Amino acid sequence: MSPARGPAPLGAYAQTVVAAGLCFVSGQVPVDRDGNHLPADDLAAQAEQVFANLEACLADQGLTMADVVSITTFLRDIGDGAAVSAVRGRFFGDHRPTSTVVEVSGFLNPAWRLEVQAVAAVREPDQQ
């Protein structure tokens, strides 16, 4: 499903898929709702956009960041981890899903410095 609040997928895939009581969110990249790519020299802005996109995908499924049970962060430079973690903390607050951080050699767009994918638990109607 393409999010109503975030950017459209950049290819032939769904932004979210709900199956077996879980919501799988495709990797979110630093592209805004209008399809604009954020500049490589502003890591904080890229991270803000990535987590805002994740939040939008979840919201389209009636979920929040508090429903995320697992997150994977891909970084072009592992040295960016602390800065990305600071932004992530603002979006997740005290919630602590499982987490994996991986350094990669590159992304589809060479200006991107990170990508984040997540899995969230879908609440039963009486738990919402």
**Is position 73 within any domain?**
yes
Per-residue pLDDT reduced to its tens digit, 59-74: 999 999 999 999 999 9
pLDDT of residue 13: 84
**Is position 7 within any domain?**
no
- Per-residue pLDDT band for 126 (boundaries 50, 70, 90) equals low
> The domain containing residue 34 runs over which residues?
16-127
Is the pLDDT at 11 greater than 70? The verdict is: yes
Q: Model-level pTM?
A: 0.91
CATH code for the domain of 66: 3.30.1330.40
Specify the higher pLDDT residue, 13 or 83: 83
**Is position 113 within any domain?**
yes
Residues 6+ apart with CB under 8 A from 121: 21, 22, 23, 67, 69
Structurally, how many domains does the chain consist of? 1
**Is position 123 within any domain?**
yes
pLDDT of residue 125: 63
- Helix, strand, coil shares of the chain as percentages rounded to 5? 30, 25, 40
**Is position 20 within any domain?**
yes
